[in-house]
Structure 1
Amino acid sequence: MSHRFRKPVNIMPTPTIDLAGPVAGIDTHTDTHTVAIVTETGKHLATDTFPTTSNGYQQVTEFLSAYSVVAAGIEGTNSYGAGLTRHLIGHGHVVFEVLRPTRALRRRDGKSDPVDALAAARQVLTGQALSIPKDTTGPVESLRMLQITRHQLVATAAKLLTLIKSLLVTAPVTVRQRYATMTTTTLVMTLSRCRPPADVTDPVNGTLTSLKSLATTYNMLRAQCDELDNKITDLVEVINPAMTQIFGCRAVTAAELLVSLGENPQRIRSQAALAHLWGVAPIPASSGRTNRHRLNRGGDRQANAALHRIVLVRMRHDERTRDYVQRRIKEGLSKKEIMRCLKRAIVREIYQVLCLGRPVRQSSGLRSDEFRALRSKKGLSQTQVAKKLGCAPARISDIETGKRRLSELKLTYEEFLKTA
């Protein structure tokens, strides 16, 4: 499958920095942050190390102010440097996220905290590979914490269920025969309600005691997951209620996408950049006479998985998506290629809602062939319809034959047919 691009796509635009003054680079760790300051020409001015405490953050602020630093580049703004990033932004400093030094640079200059901080400062000077940090001071940060906790609880519950079934395989025959034919739901409910004798010297009693403990813990985790689901749903409605109006995007899926962009989705400059961030934009892999693109296996994999779930729902329950899949299969595309195309189309839809704040446009409920049948039933010609809608008759033909998308005109055409 071939892909065409007008130009290479960056996740973030190259920030415009006023370099009328020194810049700083900060190498972040669990216990300490190392700060290096250089002039606008790259000359090293000072380096110091500060603790990762409130007092340490204040010392970093005073250190930057003493040298009139105009911008700071921080490694790991969403991990070890999250607290310092919030502190500096809150005190009016311009902060960018920088990449860690490349292997080639580490082989040449060595590896230490002062060296990494100096490399971060000089990366700010070049303006390359810089990005705007995610804002972690709003409700999206709370959503991220809830999502992380829910993921862990779901994974733990799944492991407990696997362990229950594994123990039944080697359990005494009386226990195995009693529970072997039960469904998963009935099995967990029955085990949590059983009352094994207190004498665990008997393997039967020891097995039942273990299974009851696992089943009880599993039920507790499921109850906590349900409670978190309700909180996540409420929080998504507060942050961006339009996200759950997208077909196939329930609250938990919407939460993954919201967390991926953070509190400031406007930092994404285009829908192509958003597709690149979520790993659904092919990567140029051309060289010499070879002109091709490869699959992007990078990006935010949690967000990519969320897009995958939306695609699966649409392929099963959305008639327009099923028709699209059948048409593309006839064109020779594989299922994986079709799903990549669908993910890319969903990103365009989400960008309008999440980054531009536009409402969800409801898709047309009519297929292309249904437009022609409904128009003929009402005794209208393509010319008459085109005159009413203020477009060329060829556009009406394009809609009825499915040659062109024309989403806006298609919605207007459908509304006209229903009211004519």
Structure 2
Amino acid sequence: MPGTCRPIGITTENREGMAGPVGTVTSEGLATSCSSLLCPPGRFGHPPTWTSEETPSAMTATEYDTQPSDTIVAGVDAHADTHHVVVLDRHGHRIADRQFTATFVGYRELLTWLSGLGHIVHIDVESTGTYAAALTRFLISHGVAVVEVNTPHAHTRARSGKDDRIDAEAAARKALSGESTAVPKDTSGPVEAIRTLSVTRDSAVKARSSALVQLRDLLITAPSELRESLTSKTLHGKASECIRLRPDRTRLHEPAQATKMALRTLSHRILALDREIADLDAALEQLVTAAAPVLTSHLGIGVGHAAQFLITAGQNIDRMHSEAAFARLCGAAPVPVSSGKTHRMWLHRGGDRQGPVL
């Protein structure tokens, strides 16, 4: 797709000698390449070449027929405290279902129980990035193939109803039929560490912005003597001045003294958040530079942009088989919305909505 960037960093040329398995972030880092003028071909590297062995997909009906007779697939409906599992045979008949606790002991019991029922082809899991993130890491670390499954469509729920067993069975049937083939993100490496710090930093920035807005509003309604005593031109400067205010706690029933206390409290919060954001920025710079040194070395790509690219692409970037898949992941892929004589396209509304900022 012209003008759409694709992830670079793992190609057939540099695959040999990599320090980690396919899909890990190597010392060469990640870059992008596309055919647009903003990103000339060859500037950041060569486009990756994917082979059929590198792109996991659901088995076809013929492939299932060649599997052992005890072949099973499982679907998982994940929640914060429990996970419900439904097991199907290769013909789609439900064999068993059971609920497990969302703990390490529960994950171990789940895998032991499934292994006793037959040969596990893959386990189809909802919410692999949220409620089932820990379960997904556990299963992958034990060599089990995991397929990411979306929640059932509203029409399906209207016909079949909704409970944990129904949702788990629907997840298993989606992957069994080949409708769901997505590979979940690898959340066991440095990219997940970058994501957790980025989420924390974003919340700190929002909290600081909210505190600055409150400080500004309080200054507008503050007594004129107090407002005129603050001479700084910027909100951060006013916050530094407000820290030096000393309200009389015995006279808090007076608006002037209460306003002083409110301004001083907000100022302490703002400066504390400044320090918190600075600490997170330093940690993110260290992690992102180590994970993608080539990407961060290019002009115009800062730590924030590189971090968002890594978070959107994920640790195992080999799960994206084409630039079109990456565009859809970023919510930048066109989808047809034509009808009759009307022919038009819209942007896909799914995916990572932070991806298009790249």
TM-score of the pair, normalised by structure 2:
0.78
Structure 2 distance, partners of 1:181, 1:138, is 45
Among 167, 174, 193, the residue aligned to 2:225 = 174
Task: Check if 1:42 corresponds to 2:42.
Answer: no
Letter of the aligned partner of 1:236 in structure 2? V
Among 195, 218, 227, the residue aligned to 2:270 = 218
The structural deviation recorded for 1:291 is 2.9
Count of aligned pairs between the two proteins: 296
Alignment-derived partner of residue 208 in structure 2: 157
Structure 2 distance, partners of 1:187, 1:297, is 42
Please give the residue correspondences for 1:260-339 in structure 2 after superposition, counting only pairs within 5 Å: 260-304=312-356, 306-307=357-358
The structural deviation recorded for 1:54 is 1.1
CA contact (8 A) 1:99 1:130 kept: no
Alignment-derived partner of residue 28 in structure 1: 78
Against the structure 1 CA distance between its residues 76 and 168, is the aligned structure 2 distance closer, same or farther, given a 3 Å change threshold? same
Alignment-derived partner of residue 15 in structure 1: 57
CA contact (8 A) 1:285 1:291 kept: yes
CA contact (8 A) 2:216 2:235 kept: no
Q: What value does the CA root-mean-square deviation take over the aligned residues?
A: 1.9
Among 97, 107, 115, the residue aligned to 1:65 = 115
SS at match of 2:251: coil
Structure 1 distance, partners of 2:343, 2:55, is 25
Structure 1 distance, partners of 2:128, 2:272, is 35
Among 154, 157, 168, the residue aligned to 1:103 = 154
Letter of the aligned partner of 1:45 in structure 2? I
Structure 2 distance, partners of 1:295, 1:118, is 31
Moved more, 84-93 or 205-214: 205-214
Against the structure 1 CA distance between its residues 99 and 37, is the aligned structure 2 distance closer, same or farther, given a 3 Å change threshold? same
Unaligned runs of 5+ in 1: 4-11, 308-420
The structural deviation recorded for 1:114 is 0.5
SS at match of 1:114: helix
Alignment-derived partner of residue 113 in structure 1: 164
Letter of the aligned partner of 2:107 in structure 1? Y
Judging by fraction of residues, say which structure has more strand. 2
Against the structure 1 CA distance between its residues 14 and 37, is the aligned structure 2 distance closer, same or farther, given a 3 Å change threshold? same
Structure 2 distance, partners of 1:125, 1:245, is 44
State, as a whole percentage, how many aligned pairs show the same letter: 37
Moved more, 203-212 or 147-156: 203-212
Against the structure 1 CA distance between its residues 284 and 247, is the aligned structure 2 distance closer, same or farther, given a 3 Å change threshold? farther
Alignment-derived partner of residue 126 in structure 2: 75
SS at match of 1:249: coil
SS at match of 2:120: coil
Alignment-derived partner of residue 28 in structure 2: none
Unaligned runs of 5+ in 2: 4-53
The structural deviation recorded for 1:75 is 0.2
Among 218, 239, 251, the residue aligned to 1:188 = 239
Structure 2 distance, partners of 1:64, 1:261, is 31
Letter of the aligned partner of 2:245 in structure 1? C
SS at match of 1:227: helix
The structural deviation recorded for 1:39 is 1.0
SS at match of 1:193: coil
CA contact (8 A) 2:58 2:176 kept: no
CA contact (8 A) 1:14 1:128 kept: no
SS at match of 1:230: helix
Judging by fraction of residues, say which structure has more helix. 1
Task: Check if 1:91 corresponds to 2:133.
Answer: no
Alignment-derived partner of residue 205 in structure 1: 257
SS at match of 1:34: strand
The structural deviation recorded for 1:76 is 0.4
CA contact (8 A) 1:136 1:263 kept: yes
Please give the residue correspondences for 1:365-384 in structure 2 after superposition, counting only pairs within 5 Å: none
1:356-384: per-residue Cα shift (whole Å, max 9, x none)?
A: xxxxxxxxxxxxxxxxxxxxxxxxxxxxx
SS at match of 2:243: helix
Structure 2 distance, partners of 1:117, 1:281, is 29
SS at match of 1:224: helix
Against the structure 1 CA distance between its residues 160 and 245, is the aligned structure 2 distance closer, same or farther, given a 3 Å change threshold? same
The structural deviation recorded for 1:153 is 0.5
1:188-243: per-residue Cα shift (whole Å, max 9, x none)?
A: 11112333444433322221121111111101101110110111011001111122
1:327-363: per-residue Cα shift (whole Å, max 9, x none)?
A: xxxxxxxxxxxxxxxxxxxxxxxxxxxxxxxxxxxxx
SS at match of 2:147: strand
Letter of the aligned partner of 2:141 in structure 1? G
The structural deviation recorded for 1:14 is 7.2
SS at match of 1:50: strand
Q: Which has the higher contact order (CA 8 A, sep 6+)?
A: 2
SS at match of 2:86: strand
Structure 2 distance, partners of 1:40, 1:222, is 56
TM-score of the pair, normalised by structure 1:
0.67
The structural deviation recorded for 1:122 is 0.7
Letter of the aligned partner of 1:57 in structure 2? Y
